[in-house]
Homo-oligomer: A and B are copies of this chain.
Amino acid sequence: MNLTPDAGGVFPIAPTPFNADGSIDWTSTDRLFDFYQGIGADGITVLGIMGEAPKLEPEESVGIVKRAAARMPGKPIIVGVSAPGFAAMRSLARQVMDLGAAGVMIAPPSSLRTDDQITGYYAQAVEAIGTDIPFVIQDYPLTLSVVMTPAVIRRIVMDNPSCVMLKHEDWPGLEKISTLRKFEAEGSLRKISIVTGNGGLFLDFEMERGADGANTGYAFPELLIDVVRFQKAGQRDAAHDIFDAHLPLLRYEQQQGVGLAVRKYTLMKRGILASDAQRKPGAALSAKGKTEVDYLLARLAKHDPRARV
């Protein structure tokens, strides 16, 4: 089952569960994928930046993909394959597709500057992994330091038929979605799926601008599902009401560097992860930070009973 441009909905970015000793917690891994399956996630992304992918041994990476495929049957699995060299990218991409992945996600290396460098990089990446593997562009300037204009994204999409999705997390990015959808309406860009990241911080309006869904890792992916469904159903106020209730916590989780610690702590409080451990090197949440998350959860629970932990 390959990923297509018609994909949409919520693809959570899965964290990788670890035990306190740094080994992978496979029990929590299974529980996490079961949880995503249970709440109705439309797919999953593993081995992304928030999945601590560079810290994993090759066999561990493969193990994560196998578990996802086993626990979320029928759901497309996207695998991050960004690597400093095309040899490693190709190896991982071909291996995970054989294991049942639906597509791969490729982030540009931070050294790229000009439009031509960026489009050239994606052309080389496609040549490396093969034109038969559907891929997702990750557009995340804040972390990756690569700035892609809508016209550059259009060139990548039009030059590479295997490009099926944009993980949009430019910031600000609302106008970018509108511009890309205008390109489509004008006929200069073929239809691709646009799913948004950035922790979900603008998901409420991104859906109104034409996004197809969310591809981020907020510790309450149910909220992402709610917002996407309400917006697709035309229930604008309902979408904003539930979004606004979560915004204080969502904003707190969307802190560079410490965000993953907040996410894992919350998932642990929810009983999904056994531990909030990160493999070294990782940014821990301070005792004070934990009390702040607890306070935000308690406030959220007044509006959303799912936050009662």
Contacts and interface: CB of A to CB of B under 8 A. Distances in A.
Secondary structure at chain A's binding surface: helix, strand, loop or mixed?
A: helix
Contact of A209 (B175, B288, B299): B288
Contacts of A183: none
Contacts of A56: 85, 87
What is the count of identical protomers in the complex?
4
Interface string A93-116: 000000000000000001101111
Contact of A286 (B152, B175, B255): B175
A305 interface: no
A41 to B, nearest CB: 25
Nearest to A57: B87
A84 interface: yes
A206 to B, nearest CB: 11
B248 A248 contact: no
B171 A86 contact: no
A171 B255 CA distance: 7
Contact of A172 (B172, B178, B244, B255): B255
A292 B205 contact: yes
Contacts of A299: 240, 244
Interface string A65-102: 00000000000000000011111100100000000000
A55 interface: yes
A248 B171 CA distance: 16
A148 B255 CA distance: 17
A258 B84 contact: no
B178 A288 contact: yes
A54 B85 contact: yes
A52 to B, nearest CB: 8
Contacts of A255: 171-172
A161 to B, nearest CB: 20
Given A57-B87, A115-B114, A152-B114, A256 B172 contact: yes
A167 B215 CA distance: 34
13 contacts: A54-B87, A57-B88, A83-B84, A84-B84, A113-B147, A114-B152, A116-B149, A120-B281, A201-B251, A204-B248, A240-B248, A244-B244, A244-B299
Interface of A: 53-57, 60, 83-88, 91, 110-111, 113-117, 120, 124, 127-128, 147-149, 151-152, 171-172, 174-175, 178, 201-202, 204-205, 208-209, 240, 243-244, 247-248, 251-252, 255-259, 280-281, 286, 288-289, 292, 299
